[in-house]
Amino acid sequence: MADAEIRFGGWYRCINPANKINDLANLYFVDVSTELKIFQKYVKNAIEADAHRNKFKTRTFTNYDLETFWKLTEETECDRCGGIGEMRREYTCYLKVINGTSEDRLKGSTVASWMLLFNEVPCASSLVPYKLRKIVHRDLRYHINEIIFPCQRKCLDYTPKTRKIQGLDDKGHVVNVDELAPGEFALDERLPPLPRKVVRRSISKKTKHPLRLDCGGGTVYWKKDGSNITTKAVYDSYRMKDVYIRARGELYIKRFSEQDEGHYFCYQTDGDYLLRTFRVKKIPDENTKSAAVTLRMLIKAFLGVVIFVAVFSLICDLKLKAQRFEFDHARRVFYRRNRRKLKVTHV
């Protein structure tokens, strides 16, 4: 279910029409969360990881006959070879019935409708009564805990090599029948599977909104604009509460910002195959748009005033020059007339 929305949550059932007695094959309840409350801890080795695991908080709710426990939901192998990589363990908070609680007592409680059906339910599920869910969130704060620690592993050689096809001769001795160069296969041989098609997506996000990039699960590693993205690098950059590389092959950014724009690449660890690419760009929010519109209007008004002042100054200057020209012309005419009168009087 890609790009799930809140309205997609609810009950889903799979029906087997061949079974006439009970056609219900599977029953699911889907929760769509708008925000993930994740806590990630980067430790130095597996021993520290186990020690940190023992510190996870648990809680017992006797009024509901329930208790919390942490379930290992995801675990990955080392995501890089030939260097320092990372292993991840993801623990999710679950609710279960307290050991020793009778079924008759549970049927009379408020949790019978869903706990008898699933036996265990995530703490963040909307099936949990709101009052109880609020208490769990207040005490635990996070319903997903991930532990990351460094690792190393040897790289496997995937380079095609020359193969020798062997068989038996008439005497039962093993002999070389044929020699196949890299990329060649025998007629009765099954061809290797082709790499999966690279999924390419373009995403536009507003600032301060969550961003989730999914690589489809499995042991993968991420790159942004050619640079590796690791939990250690995120931890060193003080963005541990905003950027999460999850064990299920997801890159989760809690609050998208301008510095998160760019091209993201997801690679499969075995063979370094490119699986998915994402081009992420920022959408200006309404405040930014209104500010840009206001600034544009102010600039236009300022330019209009400047042009008006320039034109008005030019007109005034032309009028002044015209008046000066008329004054000079009138003075010259006056002098000429006075000179003629003086000459006539003298004669």
- Give residue limits of the domains in the chain: 34-153, 199-282
Provide φ and ψ at 318, rounded to 5°: -65, -40
Least confident of 73-77, 151-155, 234-238, 313-317: 234-238
Percent of the chain with pLDDT over 90: 5
CA dist., res. 82 & res. 72, Å (int): 28
Structure tokens given for 174? 């093993």
SS (H, E, C) 145-178: EEEEEEECCCCCCCCCCCEEEEEECCCCCEEEEE
- For residues 22-38, average pLDDT: 78
Check residue 344 and give its pLDDT: 52
What is the percent of the chain with per-residue pLDDT over 70, rounded to a whole number? 90
Q: What is the pLDDT of residue 51?
A: 87
Looking at domain 199-282, does it have CATH number 2.60.120.10?
no
Q: Are 77 and 269 in contact (CB under 8 A)?
A: yes
Question: Structure pTM?
Answer: 0.67
Question: Token pair for residue 148?
Answer: 């990351």
At residue 286, the pLDDT reads 64
Residue 30 to residue 191: CA distance in whole angstroms: 39
Kindly indicate the confidence band of residue 266, based on its pLDDT and cuts at 50, 70 and 90. Answer: very high
